[in-house]
């Protein structure tokens, strides 16, 4: 259940981050300016996606989740597989963009 709750919280975080990226550039919300605010929320969105990748990976390995997945409708199973494959295929990119592996980030 920990990973399920983690995904729920992370999804809400991602919505806040993406909505903040979409704010009007002319809106003054702080002393840092819109460019810095957008860079902050972009970096946070990547970090959140990286955390989501980790949670999906852990969930996918758990026996109780495997049992639940056997009860999925074929469409649900296909969406689950597509999601896990997406995060797995993009793991290195998400980690590099979230700042976890600074050495792999190109200038």
Each residue's pLDDT tens digit, 33-91: 677 888 888 999 999 999 999 999 999 999 999 999 999 999 999 999 999 999 999 99
Query: Greater confidence, 106 or 89?
Result: 89
> Domain map of the chain by residue range?
2-104
Give the CA angle between residues 66, 68, 73 to the nearest 5°.
110
pTM over 0.85: no
Model confidence at 94: pLDDT above 80: yes
Model confidence at 10: pLDDT above 90: yes
């Amino acid at each position: 259940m920990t990973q399920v709750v983690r995904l729920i919280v992370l999804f809400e975080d991602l919505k806040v981050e993406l909505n903040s990226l979409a704010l009007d550039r002319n809106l003054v919300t702080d002393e840092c300016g819109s460019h810095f605010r957008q860079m902050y929320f972009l970096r946070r969105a990547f970090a959140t996606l990286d955390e989501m990748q980790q949670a999906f990976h852990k969930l996918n390995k758990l026996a109780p989740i495997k049992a639940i997945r056997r009860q999925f409708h074929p469409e649900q199973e296909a969406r689950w597989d597509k999601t896990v494959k997406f995060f797995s295929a993009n793991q290195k990119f998400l980690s590099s963009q979230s700042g976890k592996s600074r050495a792999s980030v190109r200038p």
